[in-house]
């Protein structure tokens, strides 16, 4: 697979506000040459909202070739610069930092050209006044013809009086990846929420998980999330067996109640048929991320947020298993 350093056209966006509470933000266009891959660029859309937005659903329409994007909201002054496309490194943009400074809005399933993230009536994400959206975009034209993409993202807003439950994002990633050649492997993080939850709220975790989403690339075979009790026993929250091109996210029915649990443990499974070790990254490398929305008054995040070597190798059947320590962060969403 070739990675071509071809420039994007200058990106613009247009916002359309409907009487039905729908805000549509068009961005692009992207003109992508055959075999071109773009994964170091970000896009910014300033919302110009003088009041909070209470977002009940997000709809992203991209078209073929839009491999993945994770949409965050942050204050207007964070990662300063104009709207449009820009190299993420020019503003030192990172998703963990955006999760702490703002929050998670939406994450696109890998290679899904159209996707809707919708919550039950009265349930919404609160986007503070004077916010903007930023997404790290990954575009891959695997065809032999040029693509012209004119994506848009739609936010469905509900009045504050109709909000019964505010949601906060969960964003954990594991950059300690080194997929062994010609082997199956599993990479696990066990993230202790109880200590931080007690320090902030005086109680053990007692929130509910409404919506989950996994992210991995072509070599991923699944992601499993478990809630772990203080005695070490666990219950599965969600397990995916979807492959690239399927929808990796959706609402939990019934909701998962974290009462009685202390940790979240998530594991990404891979099979690497190549002769080389595959590590964290875009292009032909891999990723392992778990995103969710809960009714906690805090947004939770962390994991292993810089590349490092996987640890604690063990063999389970024909697969190699690894585990690393997990950093945990929390940010209030009530401000």
- Residue range 207-224, pLDDT digits in tens: 999 999 888 888 999 999
* Interacting residues of 20 by C-beta distance below 8 A, sequence separation 6+: none
The stretch 224-232 carries a mean pLDDT of 97
Q: How is the chain split into domains, by residue range? A: 12-162, 168-332
Give pLDDT, residue 18. Answer: 54
Question: Is the pLDDT at 335 greater than 70, yes or no?
Answer: no
234's tokens: 């666990």
Question: Is the pLDDT at 19 greater than 80, yes or no?
Answer: no
Give pLDDT, residue 16. Answer: 56
CA distance 201 to 62: 40
Residue 12's pLDDT band (cuts 50, 70, 90): very low
- How far from 116 is each of 107, 172, 259, CA to CA, in Å? 10, 21, 29
The stretch 167-195 carries a mean pLDDT of 96
**Gap between the terminal Cα atoms of the chain:** 45
The stretch 298-320 carries a mean pLDDT of 95
Question: Is the pLDDT at 143 greater than 50, yes or no?
Answer: yes
- Comparing 12-162 with 168-332, is the CATH topology the same? yes
- Cβ 277 vs Cβ 284: under 8 Å: no
Report CA 318 to chain centroid distance, whole Å.
30
Question: Is the pLDDT at 319 greater than 90, yes or no?
Answer: yes
Give pLDDT, residue 33. Answer: 92
245-303 pLDDT, tens digit each: 344 568 898 999 999 999 999 999 999 999 999 999 877 899 999 999 999 999 999 99
The stretch 160-180 carries a mean pLDDT of 95
Residue 15's pLDDT band (cuts 50, 70, 90): low
Report CA 53 to chain centroid distance, whole Å.
20
Question: Is the pLDDT at 24 greater than 60, yes or no?
Answer: yes
Looking at domain 168-332, its CATH architecture is Sandwich (2.60)
Is residue 254 reached through a cis peptide bond, with omega within 30 degrees of 0 on the bond before it? Answer: yes
Give pLDDT, residue 250. Answer: 83
Question: Is the pLDDT at 307 greater than 60, yes or no?
Answer: yes
Average per-residue pLDDT in the chain?
88
Question: Is the pLDDT at 65 greater than 90, yes or no?
Answer: no
CA distance 241 to 224: 9
Sign of CA dihedral 328, 39, 225, 206: positive
The stretch 176-180 carries a mean pLDDT of 98
Domain 12-162: state its class.
mainly beta
CA 152-45-132 angle, 5° bins: 130
Question: Which residue has better confidence, 89 or 335?
Answer: 89
Would you call 84 exposed, middle or buried from its count of C-beta atoms within 10 A (0-12, 13-18, 19+)?
A: middle
Question: Is the pLDDT at 125 greater than 70, yes or no?
Answer: yes
Question: Is the pLDDT at 124 greater than 50, yes or no?
Answer: yes
Give pLDDT, residue 10. Answer: 37
Give pLDDT, residue 96. Answer: 78
305's tokens: 């947020």
Give pLDDT, residue 37. Answer: 83
H/E run at residue 23: strand 22-28
The stretch 194-218 carries a mean pLDDT of 93
Give pLDDT, residue 157. Answer: 97
Give pLDDT, residue 36. Answer: 87
């Amino acid at each position: 697979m070739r990675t071509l350093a071809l420039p994007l056209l200058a990106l613009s966006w247009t916002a359309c506000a409907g009487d039905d509470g729908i805000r549509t933000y068009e961005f692009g266009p992207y003109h992508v040459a055959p075999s071109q891959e773009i994964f170091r660029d970000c896009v910014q859309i300033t919302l110009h909202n003088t009041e909070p937005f209470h977002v009940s659903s997000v709809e992203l329409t991209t078209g073929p070739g839009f491999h993945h994007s994770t949409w965050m909201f942050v204050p207007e002054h964070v990662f300063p610069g104009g709207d449009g496309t820009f190299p993420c490194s020019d503003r030192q943009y990172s998703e963990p930092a955006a999760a702490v400074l703002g929050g998670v809005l939406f994450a696109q399933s890998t290679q899904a050209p159209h996707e809707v993230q919708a919550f039950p009536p009265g349930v919404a994400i609160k986007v503070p006044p004077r916010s903007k959206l930023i997404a790290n975009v990954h575009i891959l034209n695997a065809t032999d013809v040029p693509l012209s993409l004119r994506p848009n993202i739609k936010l469905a807003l509900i009045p504050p009086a109709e909000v019964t439950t505010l949601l906060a994002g969960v964003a954990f990633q594991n950059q300690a990846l080194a997929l062994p050649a010609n082997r199956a492997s599993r990479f696990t993080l066990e993230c202790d929420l109880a200590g931080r939850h007690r320090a902030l709220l005086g109680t053990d975790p007692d929130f509910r998980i409404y919506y989950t989403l996994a992210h991995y690339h072509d070599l991923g075979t699944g992601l499993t999330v478990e809630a772990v009790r203080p005695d070490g026993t666990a219950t599965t929250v969600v397990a995916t067996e979807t492959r690239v091109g399927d929808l990796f996210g959706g609402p939990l029915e019934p909701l998962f109640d974290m009462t009685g649990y202390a940790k979240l443990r998530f594991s990404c499974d891979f099979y690497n048929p190549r002769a080389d070790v595959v590590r964290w990254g875009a292009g032909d490398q891999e990723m392992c991320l778990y995103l969710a929305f809960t009714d906690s008054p805090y947004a939770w995040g962390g994991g292993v947020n810089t590349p490092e070597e996987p640890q604690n190798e063990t063999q389970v059947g024909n697969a190699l298993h690894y585990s690393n320590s997990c950093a945990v962060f929390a940010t209030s969403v009530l401000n």
